[in-house]
Amino acid sequence: MVINTQNLTFTFGNQTVVKSLSLQVPEGSIYGFLGPNGAGKTTTIKLLLNLLKTQEGSISIFDLDLQNNRIKILSQIGSLIEQPAIYLHLTGRENLMNRALLLQIPETRVDEMLRLVHLQDAAHKKAGQYSLGMKQRLGIALALLSDPKLLILDEPTNGLDPNGIIEIRELLMKLTGEYKKTVFISSHLLAEIQKMATHVGIINHGELMFQGSIQELEALSKPSVQIETDQAVEAANFLKKNNVNVSEVSDHHVFVPYTSKESMGEINAMLNQNGYMVYSINKQQQDLEKLFLAITQNA
Amino acid sequence: MKGFILSFRSEFYKTRKTMGFWSAVLLPLLLCLFVFIGFFYKSDGLINNSSMELWLKFAAPILGVMGLLLMPMLIIFIAYSVNSLEHKADTWKTIFSLPISKLSVYAAKYFYAFFLVFFCLALFVLFTIGFGNLLGVIKPSLKFSEYSIASILAQIYFKFFLASLGILSIQFLLSLLFSDFIKPMGIGFVCVIVGGILAGNSWQYAYLFPYSHPMMAMKALGPAKNGGNHPSAMPHFTVDLLTKDTWVSLVIAVVVFIAGYFIVLRKSVK
């Protein structure tokens, strides 16, 4: 495990922000750390980076205890926390040069990073004049500068346009796929993470509600049959009378829990034979977003 | 130690385009330049002065304006400037998550603020001597070349530096804790005024109040004594470098440095 926390608990005043959190982040994974705003994601990340002192529980990263190996561990982590921390009076390149100076990284790597995040044309422009997306990309370049084994990114796609989001996603997938890096990425949007994450942890009110691979998460969602028909409400009542379980009815659709292909065919035949026009009928995986909401709202 | 040096260099890299850094350069340059221009246009009235009198008349207004008025303000501004850089960019979390010990990062910042004040005062010595000699060259009637003020001037400004450490460390801590300009500036300003009044009235315990120290340092410039058997028979000056107010200043700097480190550790990062 690259990150392994045991019963991590953190209290601000009398408010417990992180409750007995046990995270397991395997090597080479993109671990999506999900939760609504205020769930304790940023606090957890600050604990992982030793920006906040661990009060209860333990954190080990690269199988080393964080308290006793702070510098060794931090030298292999690149991070981006909330909005990128950038000196606005310096140019994009100078921001990277300053970090390179601190970490004793050759200048060639700075230019390499600028190209990677497509900022080479704006390299000599003051970071204060950057758009939000450019700042975010510079933040990612700063995180990647030292070629770290583990990237910890807190909401890195905030403020990016759809193209920017896709670019970041492809970059992160490349980093884990080709370079065997591990990425720990937090977000309050499942849809954004779903396409790249291999593992997911869902946190709410400081508690871990779910942790596992993305397949395990998908397995939790039950498929349903979506029937498009001319008289949705009447069709739903008809099905109920015939002992078919109806889960949801909207203006044009009826939803029935999926059991088998055969039962789907039978429902179709039944509706047709009784004068209901079926425009379409198909099996549908439950939206992970709904599942996410269900998990976080049950708390 | 490596972490400290790297952080210190980074402080320079970050601040070299800020007002905090340039104020330390421009203040001595402009102040010395103005006095230079004044002397240049009033040189006729100064021809009869001895070399030493010339130097004293040249250095005194610079010292006076600087020591009594501008230096406390400059210290407050420099302390604010090196810290506000991180507050504004929201970079505390970044510099404290670097693979460098927190002590190195903190100490580098602290000593960089000291360095800026030292640098500024060193420039005062340099520019005072430089412009004085320049006057002597372009107005040969002014006999600047016959006396060297370098040593005494260096001592006075070094005394100023020592006297400024107490204020600087307190202001540094205030600027570290408060992200806005108003609080450290307001507190500093009030303290400077109080310190000025205390030292100005020669209150016997003024040496315990660091904001009185720059003015007290001015008073440390001993009275002119007759040189006696001195070859040139010229009066010479003494600067008592380590007076009790200087010790108080140094002790405060050390104590605040240590206290500040523990505050930084405990505070963690918001």
Which of A294, A251, A243 shows the shortest CA–CA distance to A267? Answer: A243
Phi first, then psi, for residue A183 (nearest 5°) are -120, 130
Query: How much is the pLDDT for A61?
Result: 93
Q: For residue B233, what pLDDT is reported?
A: 44
Contacts of A94 in chain B (CB under 8 A): 13
Mean pLDDT value across chain B: 84
Residue A46 and residue B268: Cα distance in Å, rounded? 10
Contact B13 A98 (CB under 8 A): yes
CA of B25, closest CA in chain A: separation in Å? 19
Query: pLDDT over 70 for what percent of chain B?
Result: 91
Give the SS3 label for residue B221.
strand
Q: Using CA atoms, how far apart are residues B78 and B260, in angstroms rounded to an integer? A: 17
What mean pLDDT do residues B162-166 have? 89
Residue in A74, A87, A89 closest to B98 by CB? A74
CA distance A49 to A46: 5
Sheet with A224-229, strands from edge to edge, namely A248-249, A253-257, A224-229, A278-284
Band of pLDDT at residue B142, cut at 50, 70 and 90? confident
The answer to whether the Cβ–Cβ distance between A46 and B90 falls below 8 Å is no
Task: Return d(Cα B24, Cα A80) in angstroms, integer.
Answer: 34
Q: How far apart are CA A101 and CA B236, in angstroms?
A: 48
User: Which residue of chain A is at minimal alpha-carbon distance from B264?
Assistant: A51
What pLDDT shows up at residue B226? 43
Helices (H) and strands (E) in chain B, counts: 10, 0
> Which residues does A contribute to its contact with B (CB < 8 Å)?
46, 49-53, 71-72, 74-75, 77, 79, 81-83, 85-90, 94, 97-98, 101-104, 142
Residue A18 in contact with residue A182, Cβ under 8 Å? no
B230 secondary structure, DSSP code: -
Please give the pLDDT value at position A298: 62
Kindly give, in sequence order, each residue whose CB lies less than 8 Å from that of residue B248, ignoring residues fewer than 6 positions away: B166, B207, B208, B210, B213
Per-residue pLDDT of chain A (299 residues; tens, 9 = 90+): 899 999 999 998 888 899 999 999 999 899 999 988 888 899 999 999 988 888 889 999 999 999 899 999 999 999 988 778 899 999 999 999 999 999 999 999 999 999 988 898 999 999 999 988 888 889 989 999 999 999 999 988 877 788 888 888 888 888 888 888 899 999 888 877 888 889 999 998 888 888 999 888 877 777 888 899 988 899 999 889 888 888 888 888 998 888 888 888 999 998 999 888 899 998 887 667 777 777 777 65
Nearest beta carbon to residue A85 from set B14, B17, B91: B91
Q: What residue has token string 């980093």? A: A175
pLDDT given at position A107: 92
What domains are defined for chain A?
A: 3-219 (3.40.50.300), 223-286 (3.30.70.80)
As beta bridge partners, residue A225 has: A256, A283
Secondary structure of chain A in HEC code, one letter for each residue = CCEEEEEEEEEECCEEEEEEECCEECCCCEEEEECCCCCCHHHHHHHHCCCCCCCEEEEEECCEECCCCHHHHHCCEEEECCCCCCCCCCEHHHHHHHHHHHHCCCHHHHHHHHHHCCCHHHCCCEHHHCCHHHHHHHHHHHHHCCCCCEEEEECCCCCCCHHHHHHHHHHHHHHHHHHCCEEEEEECCHHHHHCCCCEEEEEECCEEEEEEEHHHHHHHCCCEEEEEECCHHHHHHHHHHCCCCCCEECCCEEEEECCCHHHHHHHHHHHHHCCCCEEEEEEECCCHHHHHHHHHHCC
Q: Give the confidence band of B228 by pLDDT, cuts at 50, 70, 90.
A: very low
Residue B241 has pLDDT above 80, yes or no: no
Report the distance separating Cα A38 and Cα B120, nearest Å.
Answer: 47
Closest among B82, B184, B194, B58 to B133, alpha carbons compared: B58
More confident residue, B149 or B23: B23
Bridge partners, residue A228, by sequence: A253, A280
- For residue A71, CA distances in Å to A140, B3, B154 come to 21, 11, 42
Indicate the pairing of strand A30-34 with strand A278-284. unpaired
Contact flag B97-A103 (C-beta cutoff 8 Å): no
Mean pLDDT calculated for residue range B52-58: 83
- The reported pLDDT for the residue numbered B232 is 47
Phi, psi of A201 (to 5 degrees): -125, 130
Residue A59's pLDDT is: 93
Number of residues written out for chain B: 270
The C-alpha atoms of residue A32 and residue A201 are separated, in whole angstroms, by: 6
The residue among B97, B264, B267, B269 with the most chain A CBs within 10 A of its CB, best to mutate, is: B97
- Residue A152 has a pLDDT of 93
User: Two tokens at B67?
Assistant: 């020591």
The shortest CB-CB distance from A51 to any of B17, B90, B96 is to B96
Length of chain A in residues, anyone? 299
For A148, B20, B134, the CA distances from A87, given in Å and listed in that order, are 22, 15, 40
The answer to whether the Cα torsion of A232, A234, A237, A242 is positive or negative is negative
